[in-house]
A = this chain, B = another copy of it.
Amino acid sequence: MYRKVAADLRQAIADGAYGSGGRLPAEGELATRYGVSRGTVRQALAVLRADGLVTSRRGTRRVVLGTARVQSFGELLSFTRWARSIGEEPGGRVVEIIRSPADEVEREQLRLEPGAEVYRVLRVRTLSGVPVMVERTVYPEHIGALVEALDPHAVSHTVPLQEQGVLFTDAHHTIDLALADADDARLLGCLVGDPLLRERRRTTDPAGSPVEWSQDRYLPGTVAFTVHNSTAVTSLSRRTGI
């Protein structure tokens, strides 16, 4: 129900029904209009708030901030879903898969016992055939085995993994800058030492168990990361270097 209200309001905002900087109807009025309780309306508005579409402050009606299209969790996580959502044709090729004992960092990130083995996957990702990103993902053994069985030219890995019961629900990202190494340069067609935008990501399942630890390196100009935050919700933070 609240999803329906949220979707409806989102559409109305996108259509400019309230204008940019305009004011939304009061919660009570929306409740009457949609035939739901005020609590449900508030739940819907919380979604829009988190997406940075509206402000909210005691004493005044909510104000429309913009119509920013926000990506779903899946689009953020999966290069494939993201590419399709922006109308690009994604591609991918597995360059290398190695199985070997986890080092200390990997054991900590994937919460593994000493002696545990991991799969390291090196993969190049393309948009319309042009290489834009190099992906280095480390999987725990039981998930890596599933990845190894996939077609090396499979466009998506996350989709078949989800179908096989590997759930991705929470991710923590770190964004900074890295310099291209020999592999990056060869796969992306740049020079060794060229700057790349780096995203490191640790993804967990609903039980809190890590399912992947990945490092993606993008050619400059192909992507930017955007974040919305407010006095109410903050999920981005700035950290001292690594």
B207 adjacent to A63 (CB under 8 Å): yes
Question: Number of copies of this chain in the oligomer?
Answer: 2
Are A236 and B177 CB-contacts (below 8 A) given A55-B208, A65-B204, A229-B76?
no
Complex Cα–Cα for A173 and B236 (A): 9
In the complex, the answer to whether A174 meets B234 with C-beta atoms within 8 Å is no
Residue of B nearest to A71 (CB): B237
Q: Which residues from B are CB-within-8-Å of A51? A: 235
A238 close to chain B: CB less than 8 A = yes
Q: Does A222 have its Cβ within 8 Å of any Cβ on chain B?
A: yes
Q: Is A171 on the interface with B (CB-CB < 8 A)?
A: yes
Number of A interface residues in the complex (CB < 8 A): 63
> Of residues 213 to 241 in A, which have CB atoms within 8 Å of B's CB atoms?
220-231, 233-241
Additional A-B contacts beyond A20-B111, A170-B231, A225-B225 (17; CB < 8 A): A20-B208, A50-B235, A51-B235, A63-B207, A76-B229, A76-B236, A82-B238, A169-B230, A170-B228, A175-B225, A177-B195, A195-B195, A221-B241, A224-B240, A228-B235, A233-B233, A233-B235
